[in-house]
Structure 1
Amino acid sequence: MPIEQRVVSGPKIAPKIGGKIGGASSAPAAEAEASEPKRSKKKLVLLVVPVVLVALGAAWFFLLRPSGAAGPEAEPKPEPGEVLAVDPVSLNLAGGHYLRLGIALQLTTEVTEAPDTSRAIDHAISVFSGRTVEDVSNPKTREKLRDQLAKELATVYEGEVMGVYLTNYVTQ
């Protein structure tokens, strides 16, 4: 009769050469122990990376940022070019009066050909028409109206016009 031999091993028994400690039941425990350092490394990376990025951003903001500029750099001022005279027009004022208005446009050096002046006349009509003779005769009001027209024309002509001169200004 053959003799049957059973070996019962516990955790304190040394494994055989090439064998695993604790048999098949210890494999998940070994994987859990191996993944523990991986998880701690991931946590460390997730904590360190944002701190480093914030530190780099702060260093750039305080040390490397262009001085005196909180936002984007301002565009350089355009250089004055040719002055384009616009034919005078008669505008109706309040109370049956009128204003004979002549303007000249200060163009920038970037302008290669003379722009169409009809847009300038249209905006001049909308700014000056319907005002009283007292309004258009007052030097301070006249200056404000001219500046308003210059701002509108700079926008309409997309930076090609940088100023407006009043060349003819007669009220009746």
Structure 2
Amino acid sequence: MKTLILYHSKTGFTAQYAQWLAQDLSCACVPYKSRKAISLDTFDAIAFGSGLRAGIIPGAKWFFSQVPKLEGKRLALFFTGAMPPDPAGIERAVQQNVPPEARERVPVFYLWGGLHYEKMGFVDKAMMAAFRKMLSAKKNPTPEDQEAIRMVASSFSKAERENLRELEAYLRVGR
């Protein structure tokens, strides 16, 4: 089974996971910006990965526009983010980024990444500063708010190869 890992990465977490997947599955790994150089129909399985930024998964619209042309292919979406794996937060991201007609066809996997402030541009850093300020300004912050404030105070990584187990198992079916 010929597998493709296609990814969009801003700060490196999605690229790291994509490279680990490609190594573990011995398959092709292509950055999103090079997507026009490949023919998706030559692959049996395709996983698209990207980071979650302000509720949006960059490249997901394009990926889901390709789904109707990929009948019979094994497809998956994975996304990374700074938030701990939280079913409610993951479901919100799915609702915002995965068209209803694709939700049963394309399984979604969340992979905890982290924050790399040193790889962020000015706008992203400003958004994170505003988020921290908003959380800090709450009169009665919840324990979750306090944890979020602590987590976004500086760069961190929660990327671990072990987080790929479920996605790898899904992509291995039929191999």
Q: TM-score range by the shorter chain?
A: under 0.3
TM-score by length of 2: 0.22
Rg comparison, structure with higher value: 1
